[in-house]
């Protein structure tokens, strides 16, 4: 059962209305969080032993503003996923999905699981590894703006890639993927995951790519398992 163009346009129209609430929530949270921006930076800085520097007069202010904006976006994830699912859930409900309440909750759980996995495990190891290249002739002077971008990019990338099992499960409902296709093309999936790891990680070194690529492969296999379960349930006649 293919997705009709009219269904897609209706979902996009519904999402456009939700975007107003999402933007409003992010702006409101930004206003609330900005006074605590220095405290947020202190927590983000915990994995780095070196002091941060600002290379221009406005860099410190703009960096704190950017950190506040990302923190607001991070806290707004439940609202974002709610309106995304509210817009697109009719497509999946028409194609065999019995209940839709657990989908946004699962998406929120996976995103924050990936983000906190990165913050507490992957990010400290990645920073420690990269900082290990300093020497008597190489002393790091790390820009606060670039450090925030590095950490935030890492955290959000992990949050998004942890959605892979759920994405594969949902795609199976609309017959975009199936278990045999995924297992038959596993080698290409591994190649794509390696490319994604290279693109999504802030640095192109093998160590940080492996920190993302390893969990990504495990998530892929979990997704394949979920697709097989869905197909088995679909094959069982109702009644």
Q: pLDDT-derived band of residue 48, with 50, 70 and 90 as boundaries? A: confident
Q: From CA 165, how far away is CA 111, in angstroms rounded? A: 11
Q: Which of 58-62, 101-105, 172-176, 195-199 has the highest mean pLDDT?
A: 58-62
Instruction: Flag whether pLDDT at 166 surpasses 70.
Output: yes
Residues 6+ apart with CB under 8 A from 50: 131, 140, 142
Q: What percent of the chain has pLDDT over 70?
A: 94
Residues 6+ apart with CB under 8 A from 160: 111, 114, 200
- pTM, two decimal places: 0.88
Q: From CA 78, how far away is CA 82, in angstroms rounded? A: 6
Residues 125-150 have pLDDT tens digits of 888 877 877 777 777 889 999 999 98
Domain boundaries, the chain: 5-235
Per-residue confidence (pLDDT) for residue 199, from 0 to 100: 74
Mapping DSSP onto H, E and C, the string for the chain reads CCCCHHHHHHHHHHHHHHHHHHHHHHHHHHHHHHHHHHHHHHHHHHHCCCCEECCCCCHHHHHHHHHHHHHHHHHCHHHHHHHHHHHHHHHHHCCCCCCCCHHHHHHHHHHHHHHHHHHHHHHHHHHHHHHCCCCCCCCCCEEHHHHHHHHHHHHHHHHHHCCHHHHHHHHHHCCCCCHHHHHHCHHHHHHHHHHHHHHHCCCCCHHHHHHHHHHHHHHHHHHHHHHHHHHHHHHCCCC
The arithmetic mean of pLDDT across residues 180-184, rounded, is 91
Between residues 22 and 13, the one the model is more confident about: 22
Per-residue confidence (pLDDT) for residue 228, from 0 to 100: 92
Q: From CA 168, how far away is CA 3, in angstroms rounded? A: 16
The arithmetic mean of pLDDT across residues 32-45, rounded, is 94
Instruction: Flag whether pLDDT at 237 surpasses 80.
Output: no
Q: What percent of the chain has pLDDT over 90?
A: 47
């Amino acid at each position: 059962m293919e997705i009709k163009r009219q269904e897609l346009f209706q979902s996009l129209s519904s999402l456009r209305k939700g975007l107003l609430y999402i933007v409003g929530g992010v702006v409101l949270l930004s206003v609330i969080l900005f006074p605590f921006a220095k405290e947020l930076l202190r927590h983000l800085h915990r994995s780095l032993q070196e002091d941060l520097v600002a290379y221009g007069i406005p860099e410190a202010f703009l960096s704190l503003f950017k950190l506040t904006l990302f923190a607001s976006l991070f806290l707004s994830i439940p609202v974002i996923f709610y309106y995304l699912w509210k817009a697109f859930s009719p497509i999946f409900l028409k194609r065999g999905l019995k209940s839709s309440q657990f989908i946004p909750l699962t998406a929120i759980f996976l995103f924050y699981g990936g983000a906190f996995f990165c913050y507490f495990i992957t990010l400290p190891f990645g920073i420690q590894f990269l900082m290990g290249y300093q020497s008597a002739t190489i002393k790091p002077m790390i820009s606060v703006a670039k450090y925030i971008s590095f950490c935030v990019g890492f955290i959000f990338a992990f949050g998004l890639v942890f959605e892979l099992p759920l994405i594969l499960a949902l795609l199976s409902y609309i017959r975009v993927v199936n278990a045999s296709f995924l297992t038959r093309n596993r080698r290409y999936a591994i190649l794509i995951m390696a490319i994604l790891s290279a693109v999504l990680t802030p640095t192109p070194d093998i160590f940080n790519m492996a920190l993302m690529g390893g969990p990504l492969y495990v998530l892929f296999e979990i997704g394949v398992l979920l697709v097989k379960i869905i197909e088995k349930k679909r094959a069982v006649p109702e009644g």
